[in-house]
Amino acid sequence: MTNGKTMITGVLGLMLFLAASNAQEPPRKVEKASAPQSAATKRDAPSRDMKSREDTKGAAAAALLESAYEGDHPPEAVRMLAAVLRGSRMGAGDGWFGPAENRYSWKWLAGRCGVDPAARSGIPRNRFRGSDAWFARLDRDKDGAITPDDFDWSDRSPYVQMARMVDRLFGKLNEERDGRLTKEELVQFFDKAAQGKNYVTPDDFRDTLLGGLFSQSGSSDMPSQAVLIRGLFSGELGSMNEGPKLNAPAPDFTLKTSDGKETIQLTKRIGPKPIALVFGSFT
């Protein structure tokens, strides 16, 4: 799909959504109330009805947007807009719209080491064509072999899930927040969990360690649907244009150095030494 079609389809999708949101509701029959409602119910009912109507309209607009790409893979911007229209707030686990691509995959490494990629035993140290330091780095779970699981950094990976939990628990114990867990901090945690005893039970340990750990921000802290849509079209949330594909040439650009004294053009720098380009949003 061309960038022009992506932009046009995205704009049409937004227009359809806004039009649907502003459309006049059809007249409804007046029905006799079956029972008196409490004050709280009267307050909540309109907001629930409005939310339900917005969800229905958003889903319809998303389906219409996707129908323009029936039989083809929609560009990332279209998939993002459709997700926002269906109610996604782009929170954790909601912001990735395609698997990452890397030429240095498990299959590539297994081939270089002369190991069958389907072998469950993985790559042992004596087959790895690299240093001990690199083997230790790649053998993420430290089981003595590099396996496909060591290459899985998705949210589905048990290692990734446990690593995130460990990081949060470390932060809970590290009261100074300096990245260094001291003996004093461990003793302080023990005293807090033991509550005067000379031991800590599993319940003491769990309740003290997890207390307040999973508190969530209120829904009001999340960006609204309108903010997300504006962010997508302004380039603050993703991009309306597809990035370069794997192995495709990087787009040329010209930029000033941080001190403003020099101008750098990518095509004039390629060749003498490796260049790493990082495209992303850092907020």
Q: What is the pLDDT of residues 17-46, one digit of tens each?
A: 454 444 444 444 444 444 455 554 555 555
Which residues, other chains included, contact 157 with Cβ-Cβ below 8 Å and sequence gap of 6+?
149
The answer, yes or no, to whether residue 130 has pLDDT greater than 90, is: yes
Q: Percent of the chain scored above 90 by pLDDT?
A: 32
Residue 55 confidence (pLDDT): 76
Alpha-helical segments (H) within the chain: 3-22, 39-67, 76-85, 106-112, 132-138, 158-173, 183-194, 202-210, 225-234, 266-269
Integer Cα distance of 79 and 75 in angstroms: 6
pLDDT digits (tens, 9 = 90+) for 67-111: 999 888 888 888 889 989 988 887 766 666 666 778 888 999 999
Can you read off the two tokens belonging to residue 259?
């001190």
207-222 tens-digit pLDDT: 998 887 665 544 456 7
pTM summary value: 0.55
Count of CB atoms situated within 10 Å of the CB of 153: 12
Given a contact cutoff of 8 angstroms between Cβ atoms, the answer to whether 14 and 233 are in contact is yes
Mean per-residue pLDDT over the chain, rounded: 79
| pLDDT tens string 226-244 | 888 898 888 887 777 777 7
Give the lowest-confidence range in 23-32, 57-66, 159-168, 193-202.
23-32
> Are the C-beta atoms of residues 112 and 85 closer than 8 Å to each other?
no
